[in-house]
Amino acid sequence: MKLKNLVALIAVATITTAAADQLQGRGASFPGPIYKSWITQYNTQTGERVNYTPTGSGDGIKSIKKRMVDFGGSDKPLKSKKLTKDKLYMFPSVIGSIVLSYNIPGIKDAELKLSEKAIAGIFSGEITHWDDAAIKSVNPDLKLPHEKLTVVVRADKSGTTYNFTYYLSKLDSRVFKASKKPNWKGNIIAGKSNAGVSANIEQTKYSIGYIEYSFKQKLGLSAAQVQNREGRYITPTLKSFQDAAKHATWTPDNNFYALIAYPKGKTSYPIVAATFILLAKEQTEANKKVAKFFDFAYKNGDKIATDLGYVPLPQETKDMVREYWKKIGIK
């Protein structure tokens, strides 16, 4: 064999082996920033390689169902019946929040207050201008312009959208239903993933949209104070997210299925969500590696999570997940 051909074969073999040794995940963009940081930390400290592509929850579910990846990410939890049908396991990884980010010249971060009535009106298409009475009534000191609202939503099937529309359904169940890709009304533009929505808000004056908090932080976007179920206006902060997360309830009996948006509590921010990992039941060896990675993140990644504005899982939840892993034979 010629030396040139031998070198080419060795190169192909090396690439193939590297790919085989690297865990592959894809799905929810909501936890994309924290997974990226955890993966970097994990690789630095262990040498192990993980790749995660934030393509959206719909793609994450599809990819693991088709066994295209080692694990899928989804902000929409799957019920036990669905998991059984598709031969999947599921557990939570971290808790995040959805903020209402806006681009109104002259109005700074957290200066705008949005009532439940205003939020429902904006996302139903009933409120079309920034100086609508429902917005002005709770913002008497702001100079709200008579400019048409542009509502920025997700173009792809999204767990962020699912959790946000679940929240909206609590405000008005006649108008809104929880959905990964609803039929929005009004002056709509759509972006793919949290990154795409964030970019559209940044580039579009008089726009408003829903994004995961860390994307707001990364781009320096403005986000509204939001009225919670106790009637108080809550600024999106790590503390208000943590207060909300305290009300989450989990059980391994139903594979940790939980929707935690619209929590109780006077100081709770009202739009929070957990994000989940999906595993294929028969991929035992890959699942052990996935569990090893997330166990590392549980032990070492809390500071990274809080620095990015996520809420780490409570210790008792982490312990329940570890017991779950033992039960299904991957730890």
One DSSP character per residue, 263-303 reads ---TT--S-EEEEEEEEETT-HHHHHHHHHHHHHHHHH-HH
- Which token pair is 275? 């994000």
Tokens matching residue 179: 């959905």
Q: Do residues 305 and 34 lie in contact, with contact meaning Cβ atoms separated by under 8 Å?
A: yes
pLDDT digits (tens, 9 = 90+) for 184-223: 999 999 999 999 999 999 999 999 999 999 999 999 999 9
As to burial, measured by CB atoms within 10 angstroms (0-12 exposed, 13-18 middle, 19+ buried), residue 211 is buried
Beta strands at 188-191 and 150-154: parallel, antiparallel or unpaired: parallel
Q: Which range is least confidently modeled, 17-26, 192-201, 222-231, 236-245? A: 17-26
CB 105 within 8 Å of CB 130: no
Domain 98-245 in this protein, CATH class? alpha beta
The domain limits of the chain are 3-95+255-261+274-327, 98-245
Tell me: pLDDT of 15 over 70: no
State the Cα torsion 94-99-101-106 to the nearest 10°. Answer: -120
Pairwise CA distance, residues 224 & 237, whole Å: 11
Q: What is the Cα–Cα distance from 49 to 70, expressed in whole angstroms?
A: 13
Q: How confident is the prediction for the chain on average, in pLDDT? A: 93
Q: What does the pLDDT look like over 283-331, one tens digit per residue?
A: 999 999 999 999 999 999 999 999 999 999 999 999 999 999 999 999 9
Which letter, b or e, does each residue of 41-76 get, where b requires 16 or more Cβ atoms within 10 Å of its Cβ?
bbeeeeeeebebbbbbbbbbbbbbbeeebbbbbbbb
Instruction: Could you list the beta-strand ranges (E) of the chain.
Output: 23-27, 50-54, 71-74, 88-103, 113-114, 150-154, 188-191, 207-212, 222-223, 225-227, 233-234, 272-280
- Using an 8 Å Cβ cutoff, are 25 and 71 in contact? yes
4 pLDDT band, cuts 50/70/90, is very low
Decide if 3-95+255-261+274-327 and 98-245 have a common fold. yes
Long-range contacts of 216-220 (CB under 8 A, 24+ apart): 216/99, 216/101, 217/308, 217/309, 218/33
Q: Is the pLDDT of residue 12 over 50?
A: no
Q: Which of 212, 262, 215 is nearest to 30 (CA)?
A: 212
Percentage of residues in the chain having pLDDT higher than 90: 92
Domain 3-95+255-261+274-327, what fold? D-Maltodextrin-Binding Protein; domain 2 (3.40.190)
The closest alpha carbon to 216, from 235, 234, 194, belongs to: 194
Indicate the pLDDT class of residue 100, thresholds 50, 70 and 90: very high
Q: What is the dihedral of CA 301, 166, 170, 210, to 10 degrees?
A: 70
Identify the band that residue 20 occupies on the pLDDT scale cut at 50, 70 and 90: low
